[in-house]
Structure 1
Amino acid sequence: MKKAVYFLTLGLMLGFASCSSDDDVLSSENASALKSASAKTARTAVTDPSIGTTTTLNLTSSLLTNGTTTTGGKYWENTYVSNTNLSVDIFTFSHTATSVGYNYWDGFIVSNVNDITDYGSGAGPGGSDGWVAHQWGTMAGSGFGTSSTIAAGTPGTTGDPYIVAYWSSYMDPASPQGTTFSESSFSNWIKIGNTGLYSVEGLKINIHPWPYYGCLNGDGFAQPFASGDHFELLIYGVDENGTITNPIEHSLADYTGSSLVMPTGWINVSTTELASLGDVKYLVFQMASTDSDPIYGMNTAAYFCLDKLSVKRVE
């Protein structure tokens, strides 16, 4: 919530006018055109594959043909366009946005940005202003499967696309397991297929640069992690009755041992954990951190990255 308030406040103060042309706010004409086209795409029904078929998320470079150019690559052209979700294969990713008066988004976007710079030393309000124009990366530097010759942070290189997510905790009910799911009640969800039921066969997760450096060095909101601190991604399923399952937890940063552990490569969520979600229609994502405010929520930046979601239709 605190990050959301920060984005809105900074946007209103600056109008993001200081950003380079690479990150300019969409003009009202362009925003309207993109909104119209995207809304039409979002209404297109997804066709379920036949029972027994396995589908793995395939993020191609064509998703970024008209993307917004920034340091190290491109991010999704509709990032700041309202009333549009990101649709890839049989997956529909939640997305909320505005470009009226300020730029704001949450949910999921696609990016191929190969930039792992620490932008947390900005002199503006909160010390995090440098991240606003550079919130598009992943610590792995590119999507899973990119050639090992493309090193994270190498100037002028881009790799395979991947998904970047921003979780707006103000939208979500806490500890939702056992309750009935609705799309409007959650910031970050993925709908699988149309009416089918699916088992989750695979998923890869990576830490985003903002929380990585926030846990390491602090960022104006976040404090550097100390012994006992931890930061994790919570993944819920939604079953055939619309009921939210118990979550599985995937560690992104952990200082419960003798040192801070933050893997920077793509990590598999174990098949055993994924199987515990059961057969699902949706996946829902939340986050948790020991560096949190009782009123405003997490101080750790609420970003994560994912790739290679794989599901099998079972019904």
Structure 2
Amino acid sequence: MKKVVYFLTFGLMLGFSSCSSDDDVLGSESNSAVKTSSKTAKIAVTDPSIGTTTTLNLTSALLSSGITTTGGKYWQNTYVSNTNLSVDIFTFSHTATSSGYNYWDGFIVSNVNDITNYGSGSGSGGSDGWVPHQWGTMAGSGFGTSSTTTPGTPGTPGDPYIVAYWSSYLDPQNPEASTFSESGFSNWIKIGNTGIYTVEGLKINMHPWPYYGCLYGDGFAQPFASGDHFELLIYGVDENGVITNPVTQTLADYTGSSLVMPTGWITVAASKLQALGDVQYLVFQMASTDSDPLYGMNTAAYFCLDKLSVKRVD
């Protein structure tokens, strides 16, 4: 829970300010009921022709000016406000501030190959060590890295991948059947411009912070015990701006005497993704049995993704 580690004092204030910052300028697209913030509208995205499949292609050029850290680089705009990450036909939500303190949520890009447990031996609260080291993925690299990359070997970054942090305080719970707005949700991906798409593929990976938190706890999170689970919820937004029922992808599941947490890239089943129907956006939320009734999840709300693949249908 990054926001609690350093920002307990600022948490509610930042929550309201980040919501209002996107609400300041809202427009409506002529072909969509979805509200669009000005920072997204400034990015010119051209829809491919109907029937075309586009797969997210994260190149090293995205990190040419990246911030160097242990094991690689992360996006230079991570703490820059009013910036969304735009790759191919995909626009990834992103909120940030560096005014007095650093904060971000949404999506960034990274190639960091570091899977150290920074919750071990950290300062007060047990999570302090994670804040400067929140850029990794348990696979150690993006999916399909051409060279052999051993996870956790500093100085040997592989292909880039997406790191996501979900700010649960911002999002409404159980949003299915409600109307989507960009300003109302922490983690969304806009697909194309005005086209409609089906989701054909997606790779998901566990982030090191929740991975080790589920194993050992981290000062906020408790070690998982039998019956505990941690999931990613994926929603679609249809052409009318209505949010679909979610697809659930398990990240950690303690059944019986065994905690199962895959460390490699997980392929989200195509049949699951196609159940989202025809969409303009994807919205991501998370859920954990280790949650606080006031502050939400104690499990760190991070996940990683790669190779999002969509097909334009209209």
- TM normalised by structure 1 equals 0.89
**How many percent of aligned residue pairs carry the same amino acid?**
82
Residue 216 of structure 1 is matched in structure 2 by 215
Matches within 5 A, 1:1-315: 3-9=2-8, 43-147=42-146, 149-315=148-314
Question: 2:220, 2:147 → 1: CA distance?
Answer: 34
User: What displacement does 1:203 show?
Assistant: 0.1
Cα distance in 1 for partners of 2:197, 2:184 equals 22
Partner of 1:21: none
Give 2:230's aligned amino acid.
F
Say whether the 8 Å CA contact 1:231–1:251 is kept in structure 2: yes
- Residue 250 of structure 1 aligns to a residue in which SS? strand
Q: Within 1, Cα distance between the matches of 2:164 and 2:102?
A: 16
In 2, distance between residues paired with 1:180 and 1:153? 42
Root-mean-square deviation (Å): 1.6
Amino acid at match of 2:263: T
Deviations 1:214-240 (A, max 9, x none): 000110000110000000000000001
Cα offset, 1:45, TM superposition: 1.9
Which secondary structure does the structure 2 equivalent of 1:306 belong to?
strand
**What is the SS of the residue equivalent to 1:233?**
strand
CA contact (8 A) 1:164 1:304 kept: yes
SS at match of 1:47: coil
**Alpha-carbon distance, 1:154 to partner:** 1.4
Instruction: Give the C-alpha shift of residue 4 in structure 1.
Output: 1.5
TM superposition shift of 1:209:
0.1
Question: Displacement, 1:43?
Answer: 1.2
SS of match in other structure, 1:126: coil
Structure 1 unmatched runs, 5+: 13-38
Give structure 2 stretches of 5+ with no counterpart. Answer: 12-37
Is the partner of 1:255 in helix, strand or coil?
Answer: strand
Answer whether contact 1:120 1:129 (CA < 8 A) is retained.
yes
Alpha-carbon separation, structure 2, partners of 1:122 and 1:218: 12
Please state how far the C-alpha of 1:258 moved relative to its aligned partner. 3.0
Query: CA separation in 2, counterparts of 1:102 and 1:9?
Result: 12
CA distance in 2, matches of 1:51, 1:64: 31
Q: Letter of the aligned partner of 1:266 in structure 2?
A: W
User: Number of aligned pairs?
Assistant: 288
Q: Distance in 1 between matches of 2:190 and 2:65?
A: 24
Give the distance between the partners of 2:247 and 2:177, measured in 1 at CA: 14
Calculate the TM-score normalised by the size of structure 2. 0.89
Counterparts in 2 of 1:41 and 1:245: CA distance versus 1, 3 Å:
closer
Shift of 1:7: 3.0
